[in-house]
Structure 1
């Protein structure tokens, strides 16, 4: 035992903020009570110790911490009373301190050694940030006064959690330092101030400043007498476990941060700086495992496999074997014999790994991933390590399952956003219908039917952005590619005819020249099939024969076969350019509409559905039934109609601005169908999309599908033209409304002053159609909305 005085504060001079004296009197009073109540043999020991104190003058003395050595025998008796009989002072961290913990004057060897070695490196984890020792001491004082004299139980606990980095291992260790004030008496000097709960409540439940309580409860009214007992407990393992639990419930840390903290906690539990960990969830697409993702990047095996080029077959065999029979596999050392049996260990050895283990992790009896344990510098005895880690397994399983859930949520979000019709504006209705269906099933109703998801009395808006003459462009691109291919073929055959004297070569050249002349006009599907048959059955086998048997002709023949490569061959160049250009236009339109939807939805929720054609078509439905919790008014319909016209102008500008980026020059046309009467729509489960309901409403769909190629009455001119927006309508009132929108957008610089009022040709079953058509202002320097 040690009687040297140790400062609790890191500062050499720390002043106690309340009058205090070090005395044994409270302890003696405690002994007298135990002697009168104890019924076991302990009472004899208590009586003996009490007798020693009552006959020793120290009971009436106010001691100084520096005088501890003079009272060593009495202090050792206190130690014997207050600690377990089997406690070993070389391992038990225990000490006595002044009434307000300030100076330690008696301590076990373990406590003394720890204080001497680590005191300056301790960091308080559960104290208020930037709190100095003086404030911490003051909080201790007030918590004891409030509890003893007022009966207010303070939220402040007489324990602190400290950490320090172990210099030998580099790992963090954690200690709980608890102060026991049982042997402290508070002497009141004067009259005790009155306090009510409302006044003191802020102090009891937060880390607020002590200024308020100091004003109503000055410390000069009190004197602390006795001593405190300090116990220090190593809680490293418990803290590491608690840290893992905290990470799992934390919503602030991202996934990578969670994995980092959990792995650090696992290393703390292992208590060995040479042992490393990696966690890998089993992610899959269509029941096929995937490994080229961020979650798997930290796996030491995957990293080594990529770095040292583990054979794909070896890796796949290992994955298949482990998936069919997940089990702990550990190699305390990587010997040549083990590598021969398990070839994947070779890349680990090349990476410098000396010990390696894989342990399956289960969540609800399902294997959700693995934990890798490995070391670069020593042999690991996994049997002993697993005993330490066993309690973490359920939490590790939850972490890996969370990763799987997040991955699947991301996939589903993309599918929902990019491929399905279900949108937030109508999600509530699907939820409602699904719940009704589940209730029917729960009630054991026989063959329950799911209700149709429908919305009545909604106003439709239709828009179409089309690639001008897309069919003609496709035919032209095909024509140019076939000419290119046949030209290469004729050149190839002519070179061969000089070296190989075959009449068949001349016949093939003549056939190719016939095809060159034939495809100069419009190419039908039948022409394309016949040409393909000719090339596949006559030309390709002919050239393959000479490529294999006449090496000197291989180079010239390869030019022809290289031209047939869809990815980079000259025979597909114009079609590739066309598809690339169309894709750029459509992607730009889709991205614009995705972003522009936000503005539309903010005014009033609506259903917005896009369709891919050669261009992009979209339907919008807005009405009270889509958002029953909000009051619908026709002003929202007018607002979205104005938005639609303005967005068409912006899309026209955007596609025109893409001209320099297009590998094939393309133009777009822009069409709006105005329909003022509300319709009913319902979700078709077979097509996974909304469709109109009722015979009258179907007429709207028929018109929508026929107007894209409508002509102006008495002419052969198509209504839709590049650089213009066409608006098809029936009623003069619709034209008047859009006339206002057009004039406004002309003032804003979106549209040109060239508005046309047009009569349209009769369509099958549809007559009386009219249209407005106006040019888009492409002038540079205009402000975009």
Structure 2
């Protein structure tokens, strides 16, 4: 009998072990069955009492075989059990219960053709039990070797869904006899076998099955373990951190629940409660990204008031909906569900550590499709989904926190490790009983500061010009209305308004002052516009002029902001471009050596960076990174100048930028200010750096009165000879690279309040990319 391509064993079908069982065990316990056995033996031909050469011969005596097999399968459970008998070491069957016959065998006792390939594919795995039989009976191995189980997945012919069946072999009716003297096994062989019990190839190195005879038959008992297997598979799926909220994951979850509930058209959804929002995940998205927020439908909690979902979420058990279409009244969301074909539902609240976090729903297009048994199944899977949903919510919380950190706080990723350390110390203090301990101070000592700015040149002038043009436009429109009205009606007050408007226009034409805006607002919005309703209809085109005025004026502020908005949009566009470029460039060097980075947007962009060994979790930082950062600053300033040139053609108001860098390699200390949620210099001496920063944008060249910063040029301010030497090296390198012009200026800066003796370099930017 061929076991596999490389293994042969001597096996023979025989009823002898079963006949012996009747005589030695069954009849002594049940003497009344002796006559029955005697009758069987009289009718049983001699050819079937020993080795059976032709298995088909048993088919001629079905009644005798069935009676003998009542010792194996109880008549009371014959219609329920899935049991069959096979020749040893083969799949040649001669007896099967109706259930086994229906699932696995054709009209005879051979495997169904659709199953033969599946059974053959794992032939080696199934024959492990043959080796275990030899190890147990010949070599005295103990333990549950023969209890190895084999689970098979079959497709249900009616539903098309997977069913799981567990096969348990029973070798009690197999007699095993060595052919000759079995090979002895050493202690080392025993250890080898124990280490390779699951590997048939390795077992075959020590055990030759052709040296043994297998006589009798094997009982195969099969159990439907679909529920247990599905629950186990669901547990694995829901523990998997990349499953439930991605498209492949929710599809697999739905497929498993269809098998568990034996309903091929069953659907599933998972609802997550987040504040006043409900996020519902179903098998109707195609994203492979595992994200609860992205792969869900969002509803307002108030829109579900009075619905079956709210009723279920507020309960403690599985809630059954026999037919959703019969509920009255249906809220909008329920009507949509009915329109989509949902009729019956099972709804189970998802609770994690006593907190209601969501709802699990399975639904069907058929009314009255779920009963008490399905509700029990639902209650068994609910805890698994609660754990999975909580993990998804925690991941969502992390994403939200990431956004908050990026938009709202000064805790930079490069120093998060230090804040985590302080937070752990704080929690430990609470654990030890300290009442409301203050978090420890976070101070970084001996860090080197780096400062730079790209300032919008002439922004105040451009803003004032925009305001002036808007005020002039609004006054001109109002003057036209008052002039027309005064011509139509000889009211003295109208002529006074004309005079006052003309006076303001004359004043504006001479230049914009801080009082002009309030004067125009007061005259027009508190006096002139109040007359508009009374002026309508007194002149031919006056109504049209009033309408045109109202169309141009902002209804909230009562003022025209056309040119101001163009200015603000232009500054915003320029700032956004510079800010995005700076963040992009900083992200690149963050990968090389993490450092603290803080950026502000005003009329332009300025940034502050700190690097030092104290800010590294490892406590070390090569000193050359200080020089590297200074070079990066000059390159970034040049990049922002190029960025400005690219943006300028799209600006409605012409603007330009000036670029400034402060080089100060003197280490200082910074401290996190918990009240302001930002870092600041620590100590009186270190404040000098902050004073210099605050003065530099107004710095003048000594003896000339010229502003240090100029469009198209980079100004680098320094104080020491070593800093001077380093800056020159960087500028010469970038000039040679064609990034800077060969027009370096060495400049002395005019003294400023509390700041004296500073020097600067200024160099032009090559604006060709």
Q: CA–CA distance in 2 between the matches of 1:669 and 1:588?
A: 15
1:603 corresponding residue in structure 2: 592
2:151 corresponding residue in structure 1: 161
1:722 aligned to which of 687, 695, 711: 711
**Correspondence 1:438 to 2:427:** yes
2:253 corresponding residue in structure 1: 262
Q: CA–CA distance in 2 between the matches of 1:759 and 1:713?
A: 6
Q: CA–CA distance in 2 between the matches of 1:171 and 1:581?
A: 62
1:326 corresponding residue in structure 2: 314
Give how far 1:653 is off: 1.6
Give how far 1:177 is off: 3.0
Q: Which residues in structure 2 correspond to 1:539-618 (within 5 Å)?
A: 539-543=528-532, 557-565=546-554, 571-618=560-607
Question: Alpha carbons of 1:632 and 1:108: their partners in 2 closer, same or farther (altered >3 Å)?
Answer: same
C-alpha contact (below 8 Å) 1:97/1:105 kept by paired residues: yes
C-alpha contact (below 8 Å) 1:95/1:111 kept by paired residues: yes
Q: CA–CA distance in 1 between the matches of 2:758 and 2:116?
A: 81
**Correspondence 1:21 to 2:12:** yes
Question: Alpha carbons of 1:105 and 1:770: their partners in 2 closer, same or farther (altered >3 Å)?
Answer: same
Q: CA–CA distance in 1 between the matches of 2:135 and 2:653?
A: 84
C-alpha contact (below 8 Å) 1:674/1:728 kept by paired residues: yes
Give how far 1:134 is off: 4.4
1:172 aligned to which of 162, 178, 182: 162
Q: Deviations over 1:106-157 (max 9, x none)?
A: 10111111225895666999x9xxx824444555545555565564989998
Give how far 1:220 is off: 3.5
Question: Alpha carbons of 1:380 and 1:113: their partners in 2 closer, same or farther (altered >3 Å)?
Answer: closer
Q: Deviations over 1:132-188 (max 9, x none)?
A: 244445555455555655649899984333334434334333322333344444444
**Correspondence 1:272 to 2:260:** no
Q: CA–CA distance in 2 between the matches of 1:295 and 1:416?
A: 31
1:227 corresponding residue in structure 2: 217
1:196 corresponding residue in structure 2: 189
Q: Secondary structure at the match of 2:221?
A: strand
Q: Secondary structure at the match of 2:561?
A: helix
2:277 aligned to which of 289, 292, 312: 289
Give how far 1:78 is off: 5.5
RMSD between aligned residues? 4.4
Q: Secondary structure at the match of 1:709?
A: coil
Q: Secondary structure at the match of 2:740?
A: coil
C-alpha contact (below 8 Å) 1:566/1:572 kept by paired residues: no
Q: Secondary structure at the match of 2:258?
A: helix
Q: Secondary structure at the match of 2:742?
A: coil
C-alpha contact (below 8 Å) 1:729/1:771 kept by paired residues: yes
Q: Which residues in structure 2 correspond to 1:362-441 (within 5 Å)?
A: 362-381=351-370, 385-441=374-430
**Correspondence 1:476 to 2:465:** yes
1:689 corresponding residue in structure 2: 678
Give how far 1:597 is off: 3.0
2:303 aligned to which of 299, 304, 315: 315
Q: CA–CA distance in 2 between the matches of 1:443 and 1:312?
A: 42
Give how far 1:693 is off: 0.8
2:51 aligned to which of 61, 65, 68: 61
Q: CA–CA distance in 1 between the matches of 2:488 and 2:146?
A: 101
Give how far 1:729 is off: 0.8
Moved more, 71-80 or 710-719: 71-80
Q: CA–CA distance in 2 between the matches of 1:135 and 1:311?
A: 54
Q: Structure 1: which 5+ runs fail to align? A: 1-8, 299-309, 781-785
Q: Deviations over 1:642-676 (max 9, x none)?
A: 22222222222223222233343322222111112
Q: Secondary structure at the match of 2:350?
A: strand
Q: Secondary structure at the match of 1:696?
A: coil
Question: Alpha carbons of 1:432 and 1:265: their partners in 2 closer, same or farther (altered >3 Å)?
Answer: same
Q: Deviations over 1:439-496 (max 9, x none)?
A: 2222223553321011111111112122222222222232333334444445566677
C-alpha contact (below 8 Å) 1:14/1:102 kept by paired residues: no
**Correspondence 1:664 to 2:657:** no
Using the size of structure 1 for normalisation, the TM-score is: 0.82
Moved more, 147-156 or 464-473: 147-156
Q: CA–CA distance in 1 between the matches of 2:151 and 2:486?
A: 92
Q: CA–CA distance in 1 between the matches of 2:731 and 2:175?
A: 88
Give how far 1:582 is off: 2.8
Q: Secondary structure at the match of 1:476?
A: helix
Give how far 1:26 is off: 4.7
Question: Alpha carbons of 1:283 and 1:138: their partners in 2 closer, same or farther (altered >3 Å)?
Answer: same
Q: Deviations over 1:165-214 (max 9, x none)?
A: 434334333322333344444444454275736766775467xxx66655
C-alpha contact (below 8 Å) 2:250/2:283 kept by paired residues: no
Q: CA–CA distance in 2 between the matches of 1:44 and 1:548?
A: 124
Q: CA–CA distance in 2 between the matches of 1:706 and 1:163?
A: 78
Moved more, 530-539 or 141-150: 141-150
1:619 aligned to which of 592, 605, 608: 608
Give how far 1:543 is off: 3.7
Using the size of structure 2 for normalisation, the TM-score is: 0.84
Q: CA–CA distance in 1 between the matches of 2:189 and 2:558?
A: 89
Question: Alpha carbons of 1:88 and 1:761: their partners in 2 closer, same or farther (altered >3 Å)?
Answer: same
Q: Structure 2: which 5+ runs fail to align? A: 286-297
C-alpha contact (below 8 Å) 2:277/2:301 kept by paired residues: no
Moved more, 612-621 or 219-228: 219-228
Q: CA–CA distance in 2 between the matches of 1:115 and 1:554?
A: 92
Question: Alpha carbons of 1:675 and 1:60: their partners in 2 closer, same or farther (altered >3 Å)?
Answer: same
Question: Alpha carbons of 1:330 and 1:187: their partners in 2 closer, same or farther (altered >3 Å)?
Answer: closer
C-alpha contact (below 8 Å) 1:188/1:223 kept by paired residues: yes
Q: CA–CA distance in 1 between the matches of 2:558 and 2:11?
A: 94
Q: CA–CA distance in 1 between the matches of 2:198 and 2:533?
A: 88
C-alpha contact (below 8 Å) 2:159/2:263 kept by paired residues: yes
Q: Which residues in structure 2 correspond to 1:396-545 (within 5 Å)?
A: 396-446=385-435, 448-490=437-479, 507-543=496-532
Moved more, 497-506 or 546-555: 546-555
2:104 aligned to which of 108, 115, 121: 115
Q: CA–CA distance in 2 between the matches of 1:598 and 1:546?
A: 62
Give how far 1:703 is off: 0.8
Q: Which residues in structure 2 correspond to 1:49-198 (within 5 Å)?
A: 57=46, 58-70=48-60, 72-73=62-63, 75-77=65-67, 79-83=69-73, 86-89=76-79, 91-116=80-105, 132-137=121-126, 139=128, 141-142=130-131, 144-145=133-134, 151=141, 158-189=148-179, 191-192=182-183, 194=185, 196=189
C-alpha contact (below 8 Å) 2:346/2:378 kept by paired residues: no
Q: CA–CA distance in 1 between the matches of 2:282 and 2:654?
A: 43
Q: How many residues align?
A: 743
Moved more, 188-197 or 549-558: 549-558
Q: Secondary structure at the match of 2:260?
A: helix
Q: Secondary structure at the match of 1:467?
A: strand
Question: Alpha carbons of 1:73 and 1:632: their partners in 2 closer, same or farther (altered >3 Å)?
Answer: same
C-alpha contact (below 8 Å) 2:668/2:686 kept by paired residues: yes
C-alpha contact (below 8 Å) 2:174/2:218 kept by paired residues: yes
Q: CA–CA distance in 1 between the matches of 2:23 and 2:411?
A: 78
Give how far 1:607 is off: 1.6
Q: Deviations over 1:406-439 (max 9, x none)?
A: 2211110111233322233322222222222222
1:648 corresponding residue in structure 2: 637
